[in-house]
Structure formats: C-alpha cells, structure tokens
C-alpha cells in the first residue's frame, strides 16, 4: 500500500464523524438509486409477465376488413403475422340477455389469440363446433365432446343478423367459462372456417385482422402505435376500426414516457446526493486546510493531495455503496410485494395474475443491471461531489495554510466590518453567521429545497380529498343508472337510445324506490346522445321555437355529444359552477339555452362563444329531433352533476323528446338506514340487467384507497429527501462547532460560560431553523398553490378546493425544530467531552 | 504589598507509572499586586501548564490557586468562567482573536460576555495606548502579527482584571515587533496598575520583568 492510500485510510479514521455523515449520505443515495428502480422495474416486469400471460401477442387489430383487403394484408411484407377472426353468426336464444357469438378463427389467429381448449380439438369441418358448458346450459342444450347437438342460430351478413335457422353440429372441443362470461351470459362458441365460407358469400366477409408488424424491435411504443395507424390508413381502414394492443405493446416495447419519468426521478436523487455530499465536503474542507497545507509543506504534490482526498472519499463509498444497495434492494422488494398484494392495479385480472406470478417467483425481482447501475451512478455521484474539494485541497499552499485562521476565503476579501458598539451573545451569533454567509446560504437553501418539495407535495395531497373525488362521479348516497355501451358494433342493442326505447327506469320503479324505508328523495336526470354543430349563418335560417322531426338515426360515428337534462334543484346547484354566461339567460328560461362543460368545450370547440347559435340533433327512439339552441353558459361543475358534455333544463329536453330518456336516479338515504335501503334497491333493480347501482360509501372507499397509496408513496420519497436534508443540517452544525473548536475554547478562556456557549449554538441553530422554515413554507406554499391551480385546471385527482396543508406544515416545523434541539444537545455533550485546555490547543 | 496570586503545593501529573510526566510538581509561588513577573523555562518544563492553572483553564491534581484571596478551584465551571472574565486577562501566543469580529469588538468581547456596559473613554484610552485608533473597524485577517497581539493586550486590559496572564506573547513575532509589543505591554500594565505574569523561554524578554522565576521539571527552582 503506498503512502497516499495509507494516509487516506488513516484520515478515514481520524475524520470519523465527518466520514460517517458522508457515508450515510452516500448510502442513502445508493439506497434510493436501487429502491426506486427495483420497485418500478419489478412492478413493470410483473405486469409485463401478466400481460403476456393474459393478452394476445398481437400489435393491433383492424376491424371490418373485407375479403380482398384481408388477402392483400396476408401477402404484405409489412406484417410478420396476419390472423383472421370473424363472427359468422350468433346462437339464437329467446332470452335476449344471452349472447353467444359464433366466432371463427384461421390458424394464425388461433395461435395469436392463445386460445386453449379444456378438451378436444378445434373445429375444421363446417358442422363442427367448440362450446363451453355454460353456453350449452344457457342455450338449453346438452352434450360432450363427440356428441351432436342441434343449434338454432342467426347467420351474419354485412353486420346484420339474418333470420334464425337450425343446424346440427358435432362438438369437437370444450372451452372453459370465465366467471364474467357466466355472470353476464356472454359466450363465444367457435365454428370452423368452412362454416364461415358456407354461411357468408365471398366478398361479404367482415374480418377482424389480428396482426404483428415486422421490424419494430427496439422501437418505442408511441412509434409503433403510429405505424399501426399509418398502415391502417394505407389500407383505407378508419381510425375507428383500428385498435392497437396497448397493454401488450407497453409490456414488450420501450415506453419512452415511462423511462423518461424514471430517469427524471433518478436524476433528482443524484442531484440531491451530489448537493449533500459536496456540502459536507465543502464545510469540512475549512477544517482541513491546515492539514493539507502541512502535507504540501513537507513535499506532497498537488496530484498527491488530489489522490488523497479522492481515496478517502472512495474508501467511505466502498462501505456505504454496498450497504445502501443491499438496504435498497431489500426495501424495494418488500415494498413491491406490499404494493402487488394490496392490488392497486386498475385492472383486476391483471392484478390477480401479478400476485400469482409474484408468489410463484416466475419473475426475478433482483436485477443485476439495477445493482450495477446503482453502484456506478452512486460512485459517479461521489466522484462528482469530490471534484471541487479535490481541486480546492490541491490548490492550498503551505503558506496559506499556516496563515489560515478559519475565516472566509475568497476573491472579495473583506477588510473592515462596521460592527457593534456593545457586544452580547445574540450579536456575537449574528457576527459569526455573517462570517460564513455562503455556507449559511448553501445550508438553508439545500434544506429549504427539500422543504419546498415537501410543502408543495403536501398541498397537493391535502387537496386530494377522497370525498371531492367521489363526488365527481356520485352526487348523493346511491346512484342507479343505465349501463350502456355506445361504441360496440357487435352489440348495438347496448346503445343508450336502444335501451331507452324500452326504458327500465320506469316511473313505477322510481315510486317503489321512493317508498323504501330510509329513502328521502329520488332525483331524476335525463340523457340522450346527439350531434351538435354551429348553426348555418348563425341560426338565421331556422326559427328558435321550432323542433323538427326526422326519421332514421344518427350514424354512430356522427354522434359527437351527450345532452343531460337537469331538474330545477340540480340547475340551482349548477349555477354555482358557472364560469361564463349565466343561467338566467332568457334562452334557458325559453327552453333553448344549453350549458357546456368548460373542459370539453375548450378541447373540442375552442372557437365557440357564449351567445352562439347551434344546431342540436338528439336521438329520440327511432327518430331524430332537431332544434336550434343558444350557447348560454359555461360551467365547471363535476361530472356527477353535469356529465361530460352539455346540459339543458329537464323541461326543455323533455320538450324535444317524446320517448322516456331517463338516465339515472340520484337517491338520498338516511344514513342509519343505508344498509337496508341499499339491499332493497339492489333487489328491486336486479331484474333489469342494464341497470347498475353504485353507492357513495363504496366509491369513497376506493377513492380513499387510491389516495392513500399516492400519499404513502409521496411522503415516503419526501421522508428520504428530508433525511438527506437533515443530514445536511447536522453536518453544518457539527462542523460549525468542530471548525471553531479552538475559537470556542478561546472564548471560554476569556470568560464565556458553558451556558453562554450553548445559548450561542442554540441561536445559530434557531437561525438555520427559521431560515429553512421561511424558505420551505414561504416558497413551498407559493409553489404549492401554483401546482394546485394547475391540477384544478387539468382536473387532476378531482382537485377542486384549495386546502392549506396546515398539519404537514406544523409537522415540518416541529420536526425541523426537534432536530435542531437534538443537534444542539448532542453537540453540547460532544463539546463537553474535550477539556477546555484541549480545545485551546486544538489544531496546534 | 498585597499578594494578589498565590499557589499552594500545586501538583499536576500526566500519565501513570514509567511514562508519568510531572508537569507541575509541588509548586508554591506568590505574586504581589502590580508586579510584573516572568516565568522562564525550557520547552517541556511545565511553564505553560502552570499558567493554564493560574488562569483556571486546567484543574490541578492537588493544591490551590488563590487569586485575590479566593481559591479559584473551589468554584464550579460556570462560576470559574465568570471569575475568569472578571478577574483574569489572557494574552496567548497565537493571539486568538475572533475572526468574525473587528478590532473594537474583539477588545470589548470580555465585557460583552459579562453583560457589562462598555466604558468607552477607558477603552479608547487603551486603544490609543496600543496605537490602533485607526484600525478599529478592521478585521483580524487584515492585521499584522504585532497588531494582532496589541489587540489581544487591549482585550486583556479592557475588563480591568486583577491579573493578566501572558503565554509566550511574543512567540510568533519577529525580533523587532517582539520588543515593540513587550514595551507596549509593560507600559500599559504600569499605566493601568495591572499585575502581569508572563511565561517565556526568552531570557532577554524575561529581563524586562520586575522579577524572574525559573521553572525546571515542574518545579520553581528560583
């Protein structure tokens, strides 16, 4: 071992307290650099594994593809694989709640869709079929593999079902029923390509093309999605008929946004690490000037001094980095397990699959590259933090060191100080803080930076109110609404206008609900789908009070709005959220005024202004009703009140439509009778499958859970940053005492009592505390409010009302103050360990 | 003449057994009020340890230090600190000025610590005596070694202590400045009627004192 290394190791022991502090800072940096990616990447690996387990390995699907296009696609080199799926018909059941779509797959589609049979084989001949036990039961049939069954079915042609007919099939295989399929009565029996060919004449097929693109390895997901769209366009497939397999793509290709986010987070950790380690070195360098000067005096070269500082730093890192990585890995895995087991994934099936994968240990959560990366980045952080101290130490000359008095060095040397006429302990403290202005400012700012982040995040967390979030979707205690599906071409019967033609939300049902014990009110809201455009010549061509009737329907791809009808009570509530225009506008009273949701309008029609005349068409059963309306007001009301698009007074909307367009009931219930009322309502609506009930209590629980994890995560990261900040404070205080040990000893020699010394240190500490709190709370509150406004504008996490984070702010103040008191206490104890004479002799 | 400082059988040993160092070995001395006493000894003779004990900076293993008739080691640490700032003025070899304070503040520091009001005329008189009237706002880093030691002398005088203890006050100065500083010190002590105990290894400097004590191996031999 050469003399530089020996000296560095000796220094390691000599500067024990400083090196412990630096060690903790380095270990914390390594800890965060390991823990964060372990949790994020582990979660992604589990999710990706689950996706690959559950989802088809296709990049996307093109729907409604005709025979010729499908054939061209199959020949196209752009595609790695092209599989065809088609609905050839549906089994006919008198019970319209049973849906059994007869699907046929070509061989590639079968492979891509990961279809597995419980037993038997896939159908090949025209009279072969694969069914499930649930399907047979629902259809009132019986049979096993090899049995022949007579199936009534409606063949499909150009998107329409023909007259029902019957055919005998041989069961070649059985599939498993999912619980969802059994619950909803949705089944997918499989027929052969031969059957599809027999049933659907050539040229009239409408395939779903499952495909994999060629040559996209290593491409980011957004580029792949773009290519899916472009390829679709090339074949004349509309955007509506194009769907990318987002989950599969995210799981298997690079998601730029995700990695950018992780990168930014890691960069923030590295920056915090550099700031802390550097500031610890910066402060302790003041103490080491004499020592390096002496080494220079006895002949050490600049390079040797640089090496000395560097080796001492890396000797600390050699212990701290592995410790930090080990702790980070362990915490990361534990945290990840807790996260997965608490199922916070939005997709239930995916969440369950992730749990299974985690339990089976199919995915390794310990990733070598994360450990290597964390080690490399931690060491780089240490090196970067050491650069300036190395440079400074090497520049110290022997003469400089011998003359050194521990004062501020720099280009702007102060020659005089106005000073005080009389002295006291507080004045002495002010003089001392003034001497180390830069160090004082660096400490307050680096501590304050963590505080600012803390207060800002606390503001957002505090404004993330579970009840506010729940009220976005549910206004009263219980909501009963129609569960419709507008875009499902396979199931036009699920569209809102179709359901409303035979609306299950009858007046009779409403009255029965109202009579339930505990129910205090049932408020009705209307809704219908429609189309809205600017009126030609701003309405000059059409009289205001006329409602025109047209036969037919608005084509699904032309529907561009939904209109809600609100009763007087709800309209009153809505008036609180009006941001432009007024609900007293004569057009609203006259039944032609509409109110738009601000966020939707700004996005879709930024050029429309209050007072504009618009042409509104709404669906009314088999008819279209059309009238000219006036854009009367803009509102920021939550979706539970005004929906996502536009509202009209109930009377005005009823006036346009003759059919019953009731859409939901907001039910208020006495709190002590809620359980029973809930049960009774649920029973009452159980017959109508399209009705869905949700309760405030349940939704609120989910909101609370969602916020809880965000809060935990948020405060967890902040606590670690806070810890780094506190380390900084401890270091500054310890060093301010350590560096001035002789000075303090001398002050005591000329008569400063122990109590006065502690008082002075306390005042210094108080100054740091006050400075840190002023920066944290002042700038943090301003930044917090700005972020609140941004979140409110963007409707993020249901943030609407500003709540100042008083409790976290008081906690922050309390913690900083407590840390300060503790530090002073320990410094005092440590200080007393040395006798006065030792202190006076210090550094000699 | 009144005895202002007296030690009785003062003992301070470091270490045990063979490695034991007898820094102060049963030493008894007396200093009269207004006297200028130089304690001379070689390096390691125990002179600094003696001075530290005279000033109450270090406690003896046994024996007493009486200042103005009071045994200073009967005081608790806090009381001793108060006693020091009121009754003892220190002048150190390496000046020990507070870098953050200017010349004026360094001089009035013991008064400030004692919560006393500054007698401006008296302090200004000291400042004139040491010849630093023009440098009152300067920081220590801008002063020469001789000037720093003059500030330290003024600081020791400012609180009108019972006794001034100087630990090699010229040890860090060149020979020209050395004589200059010692002259100022002697003049001031005379002017303000102070008692001065100075330790030095320099016989020439010692000759300027009223009385010279020689210390060898922890014992005052003359």
B58–A749 C-beta distance less than 8 A: no
Both tokens of residue A360?
């089976």
Please tell me what DSSP assigns to residue A215. S
Within A506-567, residue ranges assigned H as helices are: 507-515
**A431 interface with B at CB cutoff 8 Å:** yes
**A423 interface with B at CB cutoff 8 Å:** yes
pLDDT, residue A709, reads 65
Q: Are residues A786 and A702 in the same domain?
A: yes
A413–B118 C-beta distance less than 8 A: no
Q: Are residues A551 and A402 in the same domain?
A: no
ipTM exceeding the 0.90 mark: no
pLDDT, residue B195, reads 93
Q: Report if residue A224 sits inside a domain.
A: no
Q: Report if residue A246 sits inside a domain.
A: no
| Positions of E strands within A552-688 | 561-566, 578-581, 593-597, 613-620, 623-635, 646-649, 662-669
- The kind and range of the H/E element at A752 are none
Q: Do A92 and A245 form a contact (C-beta atoms < 8 A)?
A: no
pLDDT, residue A734, reads 66
pLDDT, residue A535, reads 73
Residues of A in contact with B78 (CB under 8 A): 753-755
| Positions of E strands within B116-218 | 163-167, 196-200, 211-216
Q: Report if residue A239 sits inside a domain.
A: no
Return the number of other C-beta atoms located less than 10 Å from residue A12's C-beta. 19
Every domain of chain B and the residues it spans: 3-220
- Specify the length of chain A in residues: 844
Task: Looking at the complex, report in whole angstroms how far the Cα of residue B221 sits from the nearest Cα belonging to chain A.
Answer: 25
Which among A639, A668, A689 is the end of a domain? A689
Task: Looking at the complex, report in whole angstroms how far the Cα of residue B56 sits from the nearest Cα belonging to chain A.
Answer: 8
Q: Are residues A75 and A141 in the same domain?
A: yes
Q: Do A322 and A31 form a contact (C-beta atoms < 8 A)?
A: no
Task: Tell me how far CA of residue A148 lies from CA of A121, A175, A335, B164, in angstroms.
Answer: 15, 16, 54, 121
| CA quadruple B150, B152, B154, B156: dihedral sign | negative
- Specify the length of chain B in residues: 222
Which among A627, A655, A689 is the end of a domain? A689
B102–A751 C-beta distance less than 8 A: no
Both tokens of residue A133?
């036990």
B115–A751 C-beta distance less than 8 A: no
Distance CA A451, CA A808 (A): 11
Mean pLDDT lowest among A781-795, B23-37, B132-146: A781-795
Comparing alpha-carbon positions, the chain B residue that sits nearest to A437 is B100
Chain centre to alpha carbon of residue B77: 19
Place of tokens 């194009």: A242
Task: Please tell me whether residue A367 adopts helix, strand or coil conformation.
Answer: coil
CATH class of B3-220: alpha beta
Q: Are residues A119 and A198 in the same domain?
A: yes
Q: Are residues A683 and A717 in the same domain?
A: no
Cross-strand partners of A526: A565, A662
> If we measure between CA atoms, which residue out of B147, B131, B128, B130 comes closest to residue B139?
B147
B86–A423 C-beta distance less than 8 A: no
Distance CA B47, CA B221 (A): 12
Residue from B98, B102, B136, B155 to probe the interface with A (highest A Cβ count within 10 Å): B98
B81–A754 C-beta distance less than 8 A: yes
Q: Report if residue A721 sits inside a domain.
A: yes
Q: Are residues A291 and A371 in the same domain?
A: yes
| Positions of E strands within A591-658 | 593-597, 613-620, 623-635, 646-649
pLDDT, residue A411, reads 45
Return the number of other C-beta atoms located less than 10 Å from residue A776's C-beta. 26
Quickly state the pLDDT bin for B164 (edges 50, 70, 90).
very high
A746–B137 C-beta distance less than 8 A: no
What backbone torsions phi and psi does residue A132 show, to the nearest 5 degrees?
-120, 160
Residues of B in contact with A434 (CB under 8 A): 100
**A792 interface with B at CB cutoff 8 Å:** no
Please tell me what DSSP assigns to residue A178. P
Distance CA A816, CA A822 (A): 10
A742–B78 C-beta distance less than 8 A: no
Residue from A402, A408, A415, A419 to probe the interface with B (highest B Cβ count within 10 Å): A419
Q: Report if residue A241 sits inside a domain.
A: no
| Positions of E strands within chain B | 3-14, 21-27, 30-32, 36-40, 62-67, 70-71, 88-91, 163-167, 196-200, 211-216, 219-220
Q: Report if residue A402 sits inside a domain.
A: yes
Q: Are residues A662 and A563 in the same domain?
A: yes
Comparing alpha-carbon positions, the chain A residue that sits nearest to B136 is A416
Quickly state the pLDDT bin for B36 (edges 50, 70, 90).
very high
What backbone torsions phi and psi does residue A185 show, to the nearest 5 degrees?
80, 25
pLDDT, residue A410, reads 45
Q: Is the pLDDT of residue B92 over 50?
A: yes
Which among A689, A720, A737 is the end of a domain? A689
User: What stretches in chain A show pLDDT beneath 50?
Assistant: 405-412, 490, 843-844
pLDDT, residue A347, reads 59
Residues of B in contact with A421 (CB under 8 A): 104, 118, 120
Cross-strand partners of A287: none
pLDDT, residue A388, reads 83
Q: Do A245 and A58 form a contact (C-beta atoms < 8 A)?
A: yes
Q: Are residues A512 and A535 in the same domain?
A: yes
Q: Do A654 and A527 form a contact (C-beta atoms < 8 A)?
A: no
**A435 → closest Cβ in B52, B81, B99:** B99
Q: Report if residue A248 sits inside a domain.
A: no
Q: Are residues A451 and A585 in the same domain?
A: no
Q: Are residues A652 and A738 in the same domain?
A: no
pLDDT, residue A826, reads 76
Q: What is the residue range of A444's domain?
A: 419-472+698-844
Query: Within 13 Å and on the Cβ side, how many CA atoms surround A479?
Result: 21
Place of tokens 């070598």: A368
Radius of gyration of chain B (CA): 17
Q: Are residues A516 and A616 in the same domain?
A: yes
Chain centre to alpha carbon of residue A368: 27
Q: Report if residue A222 sits inside a domain.
A: no
Domain count for chain A: 4
**B52 → closest Cβ in A414, A751, A837:** A837
| CB–CB contacts below 8 A, A to B | 119
A593-621 pLDDT, tens per residue?
899 988 788 878 888 888 888 888 888 87
In chain A, which among 731-750 make CB contacts under 8 A with chain B? 742-743, 746-750
What backbone torsions phi and psi does residue A573 show, to the nearest 5 degrees?
-65, -40
Distance CA B132, CA B140 (A): 12
A414–B113 C-beta distance less than 8 A: no
């Amino acid at each position: 071992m050469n003399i530089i290394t020996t000296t560095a190791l000796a220094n390691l022991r000599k500067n024990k307290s400083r090196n412990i502090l630096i060690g903790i800072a380095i270990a914390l940096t390594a800890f965060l650099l390991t823990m964060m990616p372990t949790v994020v990447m582990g979660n992604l690996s589990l999710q990706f594994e689950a996706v690959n387990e559950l989802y088809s390995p296709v990049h996307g699907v093109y729907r409604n593809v005709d025979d010729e296009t499908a054939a061209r696609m199959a020949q196209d080199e752009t595609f790695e694989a092209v599989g065809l799926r088609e609905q050839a018909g549906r089994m006919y059941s008198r019970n319209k709640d049973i849906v059994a779509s007869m699907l046929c797959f070509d061989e590639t589609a079968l492979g891509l869709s990961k279809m597995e049979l419980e037993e038997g084989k896939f159908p090949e001949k025209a009279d072969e079929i694969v069914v499930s036990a649930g399907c047979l039961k629902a259809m009132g049939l019986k049979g096993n593999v090899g049995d022949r069954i007579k199936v009534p079915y409606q063949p499909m042609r150009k998107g329409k079902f023909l007259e029902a007919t019957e055919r005998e099939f041989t069961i070649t295989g059985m599939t498993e029923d999912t619980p969802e399929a059994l619950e909803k009565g949705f089944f997918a029996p499989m027929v052969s390509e031969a059957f599809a060919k027999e049933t659907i004449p050539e040229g009239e097929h409408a395939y779903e093309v499952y495909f994999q693109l060629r040559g996209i390895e290593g491409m980011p997901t957004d580029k792949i999605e773009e290519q899916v769209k472009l390829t679709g366009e090339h074949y004349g497939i509309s955007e509506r008929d194009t769907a990318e397999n987002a989950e599969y793509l995210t799981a298997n290709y690079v998601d730029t946004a995700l990695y950018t986010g992780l990168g930014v987070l890691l960069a923030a950790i590295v920056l915090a690490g550099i700031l802390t380690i550097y500031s610890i070195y910066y402060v302790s360098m003041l103490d080491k000037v004499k020592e390096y000067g002496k080494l220079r005096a006895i002949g050490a070269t600049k390079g040797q001094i640089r090496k000395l500082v560097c080796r001492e730093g890396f000797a600390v890192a050699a212990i701290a980095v592995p410790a930090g990585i080990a702790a980070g890995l362990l915490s990361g895995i534990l945290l990840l397990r807790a996260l997965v087991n608490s199922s916070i994934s939005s997709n239930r099936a995916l969440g369950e699959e992730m749990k299974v994968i985690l339990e089976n240990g199919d995915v390794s959560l310990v990733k070598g590259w994360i450990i290597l990366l964390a080690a490399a980045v931690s060491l780089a952080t240490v090196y970067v933090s050491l650069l300036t101290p190395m440079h400074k130490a090497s520049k110290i000359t022997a003469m400089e060191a011998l003359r050194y008095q521990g004062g501020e060095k720099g280009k702007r040397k102060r020659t005089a100080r106005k000073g005080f006429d009389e002295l006291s302990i507080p004045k002495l403290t002010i003089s001392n803080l003034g001497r180390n202005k830069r160090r004082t400012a660096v400490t307050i700012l680096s501590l304050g930076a963590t505080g600012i982040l803390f207060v800002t995040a606390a503001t957002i967390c505090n404004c993330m109110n579970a009840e506010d979030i729940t009220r976005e979707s549910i206004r009263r205690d219980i909501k009963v609404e129609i569960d419709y599906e507008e875009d499902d071409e396979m199931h036009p019967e699920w569209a809102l206008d179709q359901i409303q033609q035979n609306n299950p939300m009858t007046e009779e049902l409403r009255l029965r609900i109202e009579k339930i014990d505990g129910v205090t009110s049932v408020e009705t809201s209307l809704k219908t789908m429609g189309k809205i455009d600017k009126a030609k010549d701003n309405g000059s061509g059409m009289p205001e009070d006329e409602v025109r009737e047209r036969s037919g329907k608005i084509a699904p791809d032309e529907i561009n709005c939904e209109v809600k009808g609100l009763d007087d009570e709800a309209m009153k509530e809505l008036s609180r959220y009006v941001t432009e225009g007024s609900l007293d506008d004569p057009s609203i009273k006259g039944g032609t005024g509409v109110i738009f949701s601000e966020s939707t309008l700004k996005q879709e029609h930024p050029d429309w202004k209050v007072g504009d005349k618009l042409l509104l068409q709404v669906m009314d059963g088999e008819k279209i009703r059309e009238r000219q309306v006036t854009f009367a007001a803009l509102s920021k009301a939550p979706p539970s009140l005004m929906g996502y698009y536009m509202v009209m007074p109930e009377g005005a909307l009823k006036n346009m439509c003759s059919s019953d367009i009731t859409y939901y009931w907001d039910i208020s219930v006495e709190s002590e009778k809620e359980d029973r009322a809930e049960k009774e309502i649920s029973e009452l609506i159980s017959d109508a499958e399209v009705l869905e009930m949700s309760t405030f209590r349940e939704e609120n629980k989910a909101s609370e859970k969602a916020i809880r994890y965000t809060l935990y995560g948020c405060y967890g990261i902040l606590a670690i940053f806070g810890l780094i900040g506190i380390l900084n404070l401890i270091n500054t205080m310890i060093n301010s005492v350590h560096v001035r040990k002789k000075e303090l000893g001398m002050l005591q020699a000329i008569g400063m009592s122990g109590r006065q010394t502690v008082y002075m240190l306390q005042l210094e500490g108080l100054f740091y505390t006050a400075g840190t709190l002023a920066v944290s709370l002042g700038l943090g509150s301003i930044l917090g409010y700005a972020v609140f406004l941004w979140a409110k504008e963007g409707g993020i996490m249901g943030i609407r009302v500003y709540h100042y984070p008083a409790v976290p702010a008081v906690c922050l103040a309390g913690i900083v103050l407590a840390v300060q008191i503790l530090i002073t206490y320990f410094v005092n104890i440590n200080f007393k360990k040395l006798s006065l004479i030792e202190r006076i002799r210090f550094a000699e | 003449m009144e005895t202002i400082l007296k030690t009785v059988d003062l003992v301070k040993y470091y270490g045990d057994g063979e490695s034991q160092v007898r820094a102060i070995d049963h030493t008894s001395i007396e200093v009269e009020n207004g006297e200028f006493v130089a304690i001379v000894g070689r390096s390691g003779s125990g002179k600094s340890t003696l001075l530290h004990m005279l000033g109450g900076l270090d406690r003896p293993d046994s024996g007493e230090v009486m200042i103005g008739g009071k045994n200073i080691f009967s005081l608790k640490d806090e009381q001793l600190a108060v006693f020091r700032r009121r009754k003892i003025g220190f002048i150190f070899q390496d000046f020990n000025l507070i870098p953050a304070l200017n010349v004026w503040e360094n001089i009035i520091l013991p008064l400030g610590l004692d919560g006393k009001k500054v007698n401006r005329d008296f302090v200004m008189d000291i400042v004139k005596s040491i010849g630093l009237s023009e440098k009152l706002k300067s920081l220590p880093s801008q002063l020469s070694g001789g000037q720093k030691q003059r500030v330290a002398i003024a600081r020791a005088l400012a609180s009108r202590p019972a006794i001034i203890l100087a630990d090699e006050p010229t040890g860090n100065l060149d020979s020209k400045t050395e004589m200059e500083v010692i002259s100022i010190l002697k003049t001031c002590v005379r002017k303000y009627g102070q008692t001065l105990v100075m330790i030095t290894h320099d016989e020439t400097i010692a000759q300027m004192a009223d009385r010279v004590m020689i210390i060898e191996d922890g014992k005052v031999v003359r």
